[in-house]
Amino acid sequence: MNSVDTSWKKMAKSKHNKKPALLRCSPFSLVSTLAGCVFMIHLIMLYSRNYSVDLEVSSRLLTHHPIVRELERVEEENIHMPPPRKRSARAIKRKPKRPTTLVEEFLDENSQIRHLFFPDMKSAFGPSKDGNDTLNYFFPGKIWLDTEGNPIQAHGGGILYDEISKSYYWYGEYKDGPTYLSYKNGPARVRCYSSQDLWTWKNEGVVLAAEETDETHDLHKSNVLERPKVIYNSETGKYVMWMHIDDANYTKASVGVAISDTPTGPFDYLYSKSPHGFDSRDMTIFKDDDDIAYLIYSSEDNSVLHIGPLTEDYLDVKPVMKRIMVGQHREAPTIFKHQNTYYMITSGCTGWAPNEALAHAAESIMGPWETLGNPCVGGNKVFRLTTFFSQSTYVIPLPGVPGAFIFMADRWNPADLRDSRYLWLPLIVGGPADRPLEFTFGFPMWSRVSVYWHRQWRLPLGGGKNIA
Ligand code: GAL
């Protein structure tokens, strides 16, 4: 051993025997250099991967679907606060403070600019009403009519594309029935509409009805049913609906499950439960390409989102769950997938009042999830900070247009929930994320998720005609 040591020292001392450059470095700088190289290679690979995907997607979008350019046009809004009104002493006593912000104006049912947020029936749109010039155009926030000329009632909704009937089905809350802050009596809970083109919607009726007499029943009209979502199980041939089930004080905090043999119901209500033994409020379900479905729900008093796979028949959750976005207080989750990356849009927790949406991304649906930032583009600052005065509910891929989606949101009207409006807006995945992210090994660079504000817009591919 000694002889080896000595000879090594001799060699090291010899001016003719210089150590190779690497060996002359301290172990620290050696490790840092290597780490730097790996990091750079990793960054270059990720960047080139994402960048080429983006370029490929954008060029495909632009080449084949020029209307996508239209979707990405940034449209400004210029809503001003109304001038102060003269108020009687009685009005001041009743409501001492007049609205001082646009959000307060939005929430004030007597606001002078209410018509800007909740335009009346005169400006309603839909297949039964429109002349040729507005045919196939979405008008976010305006009353949307079904094929019979009635306002669509499918709040907190979601869309199922049914391969068997080659149709879209829109399920949502029918809010003429009593639910928190609605105060009306009525028998319905979940309504369904069908469409071939995502614009022309036929009322398929109530697919999950309220319980009229049994007060202990989850579906009793005094209870809350929100955010129904339906997926199809090709193994069992059943359409499975998951929903938020609650009492009027939101203390039951459970999920409910119902099934049907057809997309248009009627659905049989099975049961409610606390998934994984936890409270569950705003929720959604997501069926992945491999047919594994997941439940995502706001839990632990809305402070955390929980995510976990459903059983093979989609009727229950498996005993596997991950806590994600811990302590971030997010709700109204909606998940979609593009190029093997999962994306989520969530809202903050301010009840019916609008707040800032956030986009999140993950390589694995079970996490870790990274927050990208506010996806809203256009309008004005208040529009962007309030998700255009709405709250996320679902995202659907735009058929035939990779990277393009429809962002579905609700503009809630707490004074009259059934008059809440729908905001469908184009959502595009592409381009670098809007916030510089912290880079660590294995950490991907996400594409930006953008939801573009438009007063009116239409789908690519012939204005959405027969895209199903
Ligand atoms: C929202 C939620 C709605 C509804 C509402 C009740 O935050 O997203 O679905 O539950 O609260 O205040």
Distance between Cα 414 and ligand 1 center (Å) = 10
Mean pLDDT (the chain, rounded)? 84
pLDDT tens for each residue of 386-412: 999 999 999 999 887 889 999 999 999
Return the bridge partners of 458, or none: 137
Give which of 372, 373, 368 is closest to 442, Cα–Cα.
Answer: 368
Asked whether 137 and 125 are in contact (CB, 8 A), the reply is yes
Residue 15: per-residue pLDDT: 39
Regarding the beta carbon of 197 and ligand 1, being less than 6 Å apart is answered no
Regarding the beta carbon of 248 and ligand 1, being less than 6 Å apart is answered no
Distance between Cα 351 and ligand 1 center (Å) = 5
Regarding the beta carbon of 282 and ligand 1, being less than 6 Å apart is answered yes
Distance between Cα 353 and ligand 1 center (Å) = 9
Residue 12: per-residue pLDDT: 39
pLDDT tens for each residue of 210-236: 888 898 999 988 889 999 999 999 999
Label the pairing between strands 447-452 and 376-377: parallel
User: What is residue 24's three-state secondary structure?
Assistant: helix
Helices (H), 65-107: 67-71, 89-94, 102-107
> Hey, what are 332's tokens?
């109204």
Asked whether 416 and 181 are in contact (CB, 8 A), the reply is no
Residue 181: per-residue pLDDT: 47
Residue % of the chain over a pLDDT of 70: 75
Across 95-112, average pLDDT: 83
Residue 19: per-residue pLDDT: 46
* DSSP of 352-402: TS----EEEEESSTTS--EEEE--EESB-HHHHHTTTT-EEEEEEE-TT-T
Across 205-213, average pLDDT: 91
Regarding the beta carbon of 226 and ligand 1, being less than 6 Å apart is answered yes
Asked whether 397 and 430 are in contact (CB, 8 A), the reply is no
426-465 CB burial, b ≥16 within 10 A, e <16: bbbbbbebeeebeeeeeebebbbbbbbbbeebbbbbeebe
pLDDT tens for each residue of 226-271: 999 999 999 999 999 999 999 988 999 999 999 999 999 999 999 9
Contacts of 213 (CB under 8 A, 6+ apart): none
Regarding the beta carbon of 253 and ligand 1, being less than 6 Å apart is answered no
282, pLDDT greater than 70:
yes
Regarding the beta carbon of 156 and ligand 1, being less than 6 Å apart is answered yes
Task: Indicate the pTM of the whole model.
Answer: 0.83
pLDDT tens for each residue of 144-170: 999 999 999 999 999 999 999 999 999
What's the one-letter identity of residue 187?
P
Give which of 404, 405, 430 is closest to 55, Cα–Cα.
Answer: 430
Regarding the beta carbon of 161 and ligand 1, being less than 6 Å apart is answered no
> Hey, what are 121's tokens?
């029936």
pLDDT tens for each residue of 33-44: 665 655 554 444
Regarding the beta carbon of 352 and ligand 1, being less than 6 Å apart is answered yes
Nearest CA, atom 1, ligand 1: 351
